[in-house]
Each structure stands twice: as C-alpha cells, then as structure tokens.
Amino acid sequence: MLWLRRTIFAARVLAAVLTVVAADVASAAMLSVGDTFPTWTLQDQTGKDVSSSDLAGKTYLIWFFPKAMTPGCTAEGRGLRDQYEGFKKKGVEVFGVSFDEPAANAAFVAAEAFPFRLLSDRKHTLALAVGAADSPEQPVARRISYLVGPDGKVLKVYESVTPAEHAGQVLKDI
C-alpha cells in the first residue's frame, strides 16, 4: 500500500511540474506578423532609458542576442554595423537586447564601434513577452529578432537567425 501511495504522490508532483513548465513555455511564445509589439522601457549602454513610446511612428529592428562579446553575437553585431547605412537609408533604427548589464554592453559597443544602441533587459521582461526567454532565470536571451513598424505592429519575425547573415536578410525583407 505504501508503494501505491508513493507512486500516486510522484505522479501528482510530476503533473504539477509539467503544468508549470507548460505555462512557462506558453508565456514565451513568439509573436506573429501583425501582432502589436509590447511596450517597453530598457536602459541603453550609457544608462539612458529608451522606450517604445520614443519610437512611435518609426520602424525598428530589435535583435536579441545571448551575451556581449561572444563569437556569434559579435558576428551578428558586426553584420548589422557594417550594413547600418542601409538601415538608415530605409529609415530603420536598430537596437540589440541582452541580459547583460549596461557596462558590459558599453564595452561591447566600444570594442566593435557599433553605431546603434544595446539595451539591457536584466529582468527579462521584454524577452519573456516576445519569446526570447522561457523564464526569468534563463541565463541568456534566445537569438531572435523582430522588425516593428511605425504603428507598433510586427512586420517580420526572425525565429531562427544565422548571425553572419542576419543583417543582409533583414535589409532584403525591408
């Protein structure tokens, strides 16, 4: 009888854990084209607040990257830097987002001469809202991007990003 009680208890614990995991995964769903991008305010690498309300009427690319100064993130950032004039000509602002502190992002910007701002989502709030993180404890952001239109609606979703090719792919889509 003790064996049966332990088995039932274990099954209940497993069901509770799976329910929590399913809720986390559901909250981390990617947005779709046409969805309204969530409002946000994050600090850039200088400690200045940047807000989605500051971007009303503008098109912007927001790219989530795992960690400043790592090989894939550096390749992606360099590609965006090297094609930044193309983004400017098309009226698109570029923002990188990671869980790094502003100081780490500042060092990344300085080391790579990025002409765009890097934002710190230290509480994972925006990342959780758009599917770049599954939980507040996730150590790094998922490598995804969104192109957001002047009306705040998602124009394009980049669910799978190849760092070295991302900038060209986005420019082609604009």
Task: Name the active-site residue from 50, 73, 132, 148.
Answer: 73
Query: Residue 13: beta bridge partners?
Result: none
pLDDT value of residue 28: 57
**Domain limits, the chain:** 1-29, 31-173
Pairing type for strands 49-51 and 154-158 reads unpaired
Residue whose entry in the numeric block shows the structure tokens 């769903």: 29
Give the global pTM.
0.81
Residue 73 among the catalytic residues: yes
For the segment(s) 31-173, the CATH number from 3.40.50.2300, 3.30.2350.10, 3.40.30.10, 3.40.190.10 is 3.40.30.10
- Which tens digits make up the pLDDT trace of 42-59? 999 999 999 999 999 999
- Which tens digits make up the pLDDT trace of 77-111? 999 999 999 999 999 999 999 999 999 999 999 99
Pairing type for strands 92-98 and 154-158 reads unpaired
- What average pLDDT is seen over the chain? 86
Structure tokens of 36? 């309204």
